[in-house]
Amino acid sequence: MSKNNNNNNNKSVLRLKDYRVRSSDSLSKVVLLHNLKDDSGKFNPCKGGNRHTWFRRNVKSVAFMFVLTAFMFLLDSVMVSVFGSINFHGSSSTRNSDGREEDSVAHKERPTVEMYGRLLNLASSALVAEEFKQESLNFWEEPYQEASKWTPCADKRYPTSLGKPGENNGYIMVSANGGLNQQRVAICNAVAVASLLNATLVLPKFLYSNVWKDPSQFGDIYQEDYFMRMLKDDVHIVQELPLHLKSLDIEAIGSLITDADIVKEAKPIDYIRTVLPLLMKNKVVHFLGFGNRLGFDPFPPELQRLRCKCDFHALKFVPKIQEVGSLLIKRIRKFKYHAAERQLDKQLLGDFTPSISSKENYVERGSSRYLALHLRFEEDMAAYSQCDFGGGEHEKKELEAYREVHFPLLIERLKNSKPVSPAELRKLGKCPLTPEEAALVLAALGFKRGTYIYLAGSRIYGGSSRMHPFTNLYPNLVTKETLLTYNELAPFRNFSSQLAALDFIACATSDVFAMTDSGSQLSSLVSGFRTYYGDGHAPTLRPNKKRLAAIFSENSTIGWTTFEDRVRKMIEEGQRVRVRGSGRSIYRQPRCPECMCRLLP
């Protein structure tokens, strides 16, 4: 097992070398061609009509350049063929960093899939042309000054603050399902419900999933003492039930509450009517699952503030995660940091926040910018969407088989509903963006070929065959698996939620965060964190998939300049500073009076 993992690590290193070699090859080709140009920019190796004389004098140089160019193309092809089989999943016999065995059939190497070959060629030419130009548009910065006028203040005490209730109606237990981000939301919703019902919250538990196979509990991810201390003035929190309640059969006495017992996005009145009587009668209730079972509006302002305080202040990662997260950021930034310490870094990394005053030997002062990308194109997303991603009959059968095994309820629903074609789904903006589409968006926004990109998750459906169009445009792509050694990742192996915490840190502290699916919990929570702690200097790129689908539908005729303009307008509109709308998640959009304070002009 150790040998296999070491091989995987070596492959990751080789893959990074492959990207760099291919990047430098392309640059060499550009320089060679540039040397054959005259001042007008046209290829003109001779002047005054004396071509034969020029050719005899320079025949060796010309031959050498042709041979060298041919060698570069040959080397590029060899690199692609040699390293092409090394994808983000590893070989069919390897395991992911989260310890799950890969499906050798679903993820074996396959031909590269391109849906927009013409646009890719235009993007490649545009990136070459822009390589030595100064950036005309700057998506590295927040476009609106209004963003910096909102500051964090959910942890402040106000005369209207509820405080800890004098009487206790009983104990609330929560066993949260899902991954790291779903569990985070469940924790803070449980804090709000405990305060609403004048109850004591037992430190939440996490349900074991047969999919993720992660036994992590609250204390493996978050600092328990800090959490309880930060919320001590707001709600009673204990680590365990008192002895006289431990022996109770919760289900037998009717105090087990599943997601089927509470409507999605339930209102406070629903808890007061259905849960409070049970709590007062049995002195304990147990929420099992608790996935998305508390709405956002209407909701008492002080309880909204408590949710924000929980999410943005009380939940701090344990030192083990903070330390490796800090190391990950150091590797991404190549030991170059922001001149001033940021609230964002301090909240996520604690005492392990990198500092330029540290005794380490830095390459140079200043920061090395990077863009973090959460590319939601895993197999479950692709299968559930029912979209066509250009992979032909093989892809269609593969995703159908996955749906039958993993989404039986979806299959039943489809049998009883009018079918919607993949083309119509794409037109409606229901399809997850492919790596190819994500790369084209970044190119249209003016991000240069050499941009350093951190890819969160990295379990891309289709492996390297899907990633080739992306890495051909943006070769400087890294993941936690390529930046950290096998031994550094070892403590997190088989713990998917702890690995997800490293992705959370890398995305939240990035200079730019780009998402491809605004409905993703990771993307939502990361963008909320950046809004809350970013001080107006943490831009997030949110594509509108419906508008983007309309743009891509013209891929056979649209000009690159027009494509750029339309994509940029779409992203700029998504960056406008907006106060949280009614019903919107306060974790994703904390810019509201209950969560943040707006500075006066």
Q: What are the phi and psi torsion angles at 82 (to 5°)?
A: -70, -45
Which of residues 98 and 92 earns the better pLDDT score?
98
Angle at 208 between CA 203 and CA 214, to 5 degrees: 100
- Contact partners, residue 440, CB within 8 Å, separation at least 6: 116, 119, 120, 123, 473, 552, 563
Weakest-pLDDT range from 161-165, 235-239, 259-263, 403-407: 161-165
Residue whose structure tokens are 């919990």: 521
Task: Determine the Cα–Cα distance for residues 576 and 161; give it in Å rounded to an integer.
Answer: 31
Return the pLDDT at 211.
73
Which three-class secondary structure string do you get for 348-381? HHHHHCCCCCCCCCCCCCCCCCCEEEECCCCHHH
Q: Give the DSSP letter string of 291-345.
A: -S-S-SSS--HHHHHHHHHIIIII--B-HHHHHHHHHHHHHHHTT---SS--HHH
Mean pLDDT within 148-159: 89
How many Cβ atoms sit within 10 Å of the Cβ of residue 268?
17
Q: What are the phi and psi torsion angles at 113 (to 5°)?
A: -105, 125
Which of residues 432 and 209 earns the better pLDDT score?
432
Return the pLDDT at 5.
44
How many Cβ atoms sit within 10 Å of the Cβ of residue 339?
8
Weakest-pLDDT range from 108-117, 243-252, 308-317: 108-117
Give yes or no for residue 115 having a pLDDT over 90.
yes
- Whole-number percent of the chain with pLDDT over 70: 78
Taking only the tens place, the pLDDT of each residue in 344-360 is 999 999 999 987 544 44
Q: What is the largest CA-CA distance in the chain?
A: 103
Mean pLDDT within 238-259: 96
With bands split at pLDDT 50, 70 and 90, how would you rate the model's confidence at 568?
very high
Return the pLDDT at 368.
83
Tokens of 555: 């891929």
Asked if residues 151 and 596 have their Cβ atoms less than 8 Å apart, the reply is: yes
Q: State how beta strands 150-152 and 596-598 pair.
A: antiparallel
Give yes or no for residue 33 having a pLDDT over 50.
no
Q: What is the mean pLDDT of the chain?
A: 83
Return the pLDDT at 235.
96
201: part of which helix (H) or strand (E)? strand 200-202
Residue whose structure tokens are 């989404």: 407
Which of residues 32 and 308 earns the better pLDDT score?
308
Return the pLDDT at 512.
97
With bands split at pLDDT 50, 70 and 90, how would you rate the model's confidence at 335?
low
Return the pLDDT at 395.
95
Weakest-pLDDT range from 158-162, 187-191, 363-367, 381-385: 363-367
DSSP state, residue 41 = S
With bands split at pLDDT 50, 70 and 90, how would you rate the model's confidence at 57?
low
Taking only the tens place, the pLDDT of each residue in 360-419 is 443 444 458 999 999 999 999 999 999 999 999 999 999 999 999 999 999 999 999 999
Asked if residues 508 and 529 have their Cβ atoms less than 8 Å apart, the reply is: yes
Q: What are the phi and psi torsion angles at 154 (to 5°)?
A: -70, -20
Asked if residues 262 and 274 have their Cβ atoms less than 8 Å apart, the reply is: yes
Distances from the Cα of 263 to the Cα of 287, 292, 520, 573, 585, angstroms? 13, 9, 21, 34, 17
Amino acid of residue 133: K
Which of residues 356 and 589 earns the better pLDDT score?
589
Taking only the tens place, the pLDDT of each residue in 195-206 is 999 999 999 999
**Ramachandran sector of residue 501 (left: φ over 0; alpha: ψ -120 to 50; beta: rest):** alpha
Task: Determine the Cα–Cα distance for residues 106 and 103; give it in Å rounded to an integer.
Answer: 5
With bands split at pLDDT 50, 70 and 90, how would you rate the model's confidence at 547?
very high
Give yes or no for residue 446 having a pLDDT over 90.
yes
Give yes or no for residue 72 having a pLDDT over 80.
no
Task: Determine the Cα–Cα distance for residues 72 and 21; give it in Å rounded to an integer.
Answer: 10
Task: Determine the Cα–Cα distance for residues 105 and 470; give it in Å rounded to an integer.
Answer: 23
258: part of which helix (H) or strand (E)? strand 256-258
With bands split at pLDDT 50, 70 and 90, how would you rate the model's confidence at 79?
very low
Angle at 402 between CA 422 and CA 425, to 5 degrees: 15
Which of residues 138 and 540 earns the better pLDDT score?
540
Comparing CA positions, the residue from 485, 469, 486, 487 lying closest to residue 477 is 469
117-142+319-356+366-377+432-598: CATH topology is Rossmann fold (3.40.50)
**Strand, coil or helix: 101:** strand
Give me the count of residues in the chain. Answer: 601
Give yes or no for residue 448 having a pLDDT over 60.
yes
Mean pLDDT is highest, among 107-116, 453-462, 503-512, for: 503-512
Taking only the tens place, the pLDDT of each residue in 270-326 is 999 999 999 999 999 999 999 999 999 999 999 999 999 999 999 999 999 999 999
Give yes or no for residue 146 having a pLDDT over 80.
yes
Give yes or no for residue 28 having a pLDDT over 60.
no
Mean pLDDT within 330-337: 79
Mean pLDDT within 80-90: 37
* Beta bridge pairs of residue 37: 43
Mean pLDDT within 480-503: 96
Q: Where are the domains of the chain?
A: 117-142+319-356+366-377+432-598, 171-314
Give yes or no for residue 266 having a pLDDT over 60.
yes
With bands split at pLDDT 50, 70 and 90, how would you rate the model's confidence at 22?
very low
